């Protein structure tokens, strides 16, 4: 079964995709409304070697519906979604939202900012 994953950061990098999934992902540009990008300090010691430093981007629900996040919607398999779950820091959760194109996509969002 195909899944859609909205990426606004690290998963857009080809090297990360190949390291995680063994392939380059097919995707298309899209927009997530009602969210903004914020920076969070990562304390998950198992994630730090995978990331680009102690501070990473996360999505935050915005009170302003005009706030948008531009990203890419990737089509992945259910098994690849589980791999992505294992990649994200411990304090990130996966939730389903709708992007501007009308696709229902998974996003990862920090549980505390």
Nearest to 48 by CA among 56, 58, 39: 56
Q: Whose CA is closest to 20, among 12, 8, 28?
A: 12
The CATH number given to whatever domain includes residue 102 is 3.10.490.10
- 86 Cβ neighbours under 8 A, 6+ residues apart: none
Phi/psi at 70 (5° precision) = -90, 140
16's tokens: 């990360």
Per-residue pLDDT of the chain (113 residues; tens, 9 = 90+): 799 999 988 889 999 899 999 999 999 999 999 998 887 665 655 554 455 556 677 788 888 889 999 999 999 999 999 999 988 777 788 999 999 999 999 998 877 65
Looking at the structure of the chain, the number of domains it has is 1
Residue 84: domain span? 2-110
- Hunting for tokens 């997530």 — which residue is that? 32
């Amino acid at each position: 079964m195909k899944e859609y994953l909205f990426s606004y950061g690290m998963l857009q990098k080809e090297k990360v995709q190949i390291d995680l999934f063994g392939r380059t992902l097919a995707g298309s540009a899209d927009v997530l409304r009602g969210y903004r990008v914020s920076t969070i300090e990562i304390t998950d010691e198992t994630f730090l070697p995978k990331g680009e430093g102690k501070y990473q981007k996360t999505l935050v629900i915005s009170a302003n519906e005009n706030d948008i996040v531009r990203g890419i919607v990737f089509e992945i398999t259910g098994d690849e979604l589980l791999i992505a779950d294992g990649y994200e820091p411990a304090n990130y959760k996966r939730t389903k939202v709708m992007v501007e194109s009308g696709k229902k996509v998974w996003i990862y969002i920090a549980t505390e900012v």
